[in-house]
């Protein structure tokens, strides 16, 4: 199979400080669709063009951050195989039973060396994107409700042992390195962009002095014009914008970074190039991080390396 193994980011479980306020934010401002709640009180949402039951799970907590980030794999056999790879690589896993998350099959859960919980799963209910699977229109009315990303795109996670976490993704899970930022020594990676697809990244990792940190969860928009519209909607709703609209030099993507009601950074992202694993990875020496982050301004916004949840 040309596309096999890990297919894509499938869900982010995010901690919020005031559940109803952030449900309102993710639904009415970001424009996700509320899909259900479970008995533990978690709220499930999806982006309009996703067909699986949910991609964002909100979870009331006393501090912001990310509980776990899950990837959908091709099928159950793939999940078993990847779990076996993880074991060979020395990563302990546990199985979370089907149904623990609404409409979701059994998951393989493990901690990566940066202290984040990652999950693999093969089954989540296809609830459709609101369009028929026969002769569909190119978009549904949901595309005009709020910022309305089409998809959960990726996350940037931060922690101490970037090398260890990177190796899990690359060597055990089949991701490939697309771009990286390297320190003055020309060797130490400060940040890596990893892909399991033709996107420029499905997961990115940042070397930080503390483990388990969330830099941002990213949502896909189709165009630069939609990024501008996202910025407008953020402002109309008093969403604190961190950086953008601008273009990243890294990945070439257009972006706005902003914060949800609990201080979790999220990104509305578009563009970039079509990536392939035979491409020589692009390298950004740390002194070029400013243009890697904000290409027009060539500016290393201070919050980028200091604010996390």
User: Hey, which residues are catalytic here?
Assistant: 154, 201, 216, 248, 257, 267
Residue 241 Cβ vs its own copies, minimum distance, rounded to whole Å:
5
Binding positions for its own copies, 102-161, rule CB under 8 A: 126, 133-139, 144, 150-151
241 within 8 A of 266, measured Cβ to Cβ:
no
Distance from CA of residue 68 to its chain's centroid? 11
Residue 50 Cβ vs its own copies, minimum distance, rounded to whole Å:
10
Binding positions for its own copies, 179-198, rule CB under 8 A: 195-198
Reference 120, options 9, 33, 235; nearest CA is 9
Radius of gyration over every alpha carbon of the chain, rounded to an integer in angstroms: 18
Q: Exposure of 74 by Cβ count < 10 A (0-12 exposed, 13-18 middle, 19+ buried)?
A: middle
Query: Binding its own copies by CB under 8 A: which of 115, 164, 174, 263?
Result: 174
Binding positions for its own copies, 200-259, rule CB under 8 A: 220, 222-225, 228, 231-232, 234-236, 238, 241, 244-247, 249, 252, 254, 256
248 within 8 A of 298, measured Cβ to Cβ:
no
Instruction: Decide: is 49 part of the binding site for its own copies (CB under 8 A).
Output: yes
Sequence-separated (6 or more) residues with CB below 8 Å from residue 151: 47, 49, 50, 55, 219, 220
Residue 243 Cβ vs its own copies, minimum distance, rounded to whole Å:
9
- Select the span of 61-69, 109-117, 211-219, 269-277 touching its own copies (CB under 8 A): 269-277
Distance (Å, rounded) from C-alpha 270 to C-alpha 67? 25
Distance from CA of residue 295 to its chain's centroid? 21
Nearer to its own copies (CB atom), residue 39 or residue 134: 134
Reference 204, options 193, 188, 214, 213; nearest CA is 193
Nearer to its own copies (CB atom), residue 84 or residue 198: 198
Nearer to its own copies (CB atom), residue 22 or residue 294: 294
Nearer to its own copies (CB atom), residue 115 or residue 128: 128
Instruction: Decide: is 295 part of the binding site for its own copies (CB under 8 A).
Output: yes
Q: Is the peptide bond before 60 cis (omega within 30 degrees of 0)?
A: no
Nearer to its own copies (CB atom), residue 37 or residue 288: 288
Query: Binding its own copies by CB under 8 A: which of 3, 77, 98, 183?
Result: 3
Distance (Å, rounded) from C-alpha 32 to C-alpha 49? 10
265-271 vs 253-259, strand pairing mode? antiparallel
- Per-residue x/- track, 270-289, its own copies (CB under 8 A): -x-xx-xxxxxxxxxx--x-
Reference 73, options 1, 180, 171; nearest CA is 1
- Per-residue x/- track, 59-88, its own copies (CB under 8 A): -------------x-x--------------
Nearer to its own copies (CB atom), residue 36 or residue 136: 136
């Amino acid at each position: 199979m040309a596309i096999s193994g890990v297919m894509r980011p499938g869900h982010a479980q995010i901690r919020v400080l005031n559940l109803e306020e952030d449900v309102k934010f993710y639904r009415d401002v970001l424009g996700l669709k509320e899909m259900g709640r479970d008995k533990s009180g978690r709220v499930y949402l999806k982006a309009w063009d996703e067909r699986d039951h949910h991609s964002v799970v909100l979870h009331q907590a006393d501090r912001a951050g990310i509980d776990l980030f899950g990837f959908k794999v091709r099928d159950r056999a793939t999940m078993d195989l990847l779990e076996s790879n993880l074991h060979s690589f020395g990563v302990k896993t546990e199985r979370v039973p089907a149904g623990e998350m609404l409409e979701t099959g059994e998951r393989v859960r493990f901690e990566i060396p940066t202290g984040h919980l990652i999950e693999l799963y093969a089954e989540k209910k296809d609830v459709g994107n609101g369009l028929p699977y026969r002769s569909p229109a190119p978009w549904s009315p949901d595309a005009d409700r709020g910022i309305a990303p089409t998809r959960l795109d990726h996350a940037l996670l931060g922690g101490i042992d970037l090398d260890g976490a990177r190796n899990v993704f690359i060597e055990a899970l089949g991701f490939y390195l697309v771009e990286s930022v390297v320190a003055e020594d020309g060797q130490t990676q400060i940040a890596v962009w990893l892909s399991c697809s033709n996107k420029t990244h499905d997961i990115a990792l940042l070397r930080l002095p503390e483990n388990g940190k969330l830099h941002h969860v990213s949502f896909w928009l189709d165009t630069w014009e939609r990024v501008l519209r996202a910025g407008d909607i953020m402002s109309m709703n008093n969403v604190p914008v961190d950086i953008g609209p601008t273009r990243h030099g890294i990945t070439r993507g257009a972006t706005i970074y902003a914060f949800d009601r609990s201080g979790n950074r999220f990104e509305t992202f578009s563009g970039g190039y079509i990536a392939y694993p035979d491409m020589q990875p692009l390298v950004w020496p740390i002194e070029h991080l400013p243009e890697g982050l904000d290409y027009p301004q060539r500016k290393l916004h201070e919050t980028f390396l200091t604010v996390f949840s």
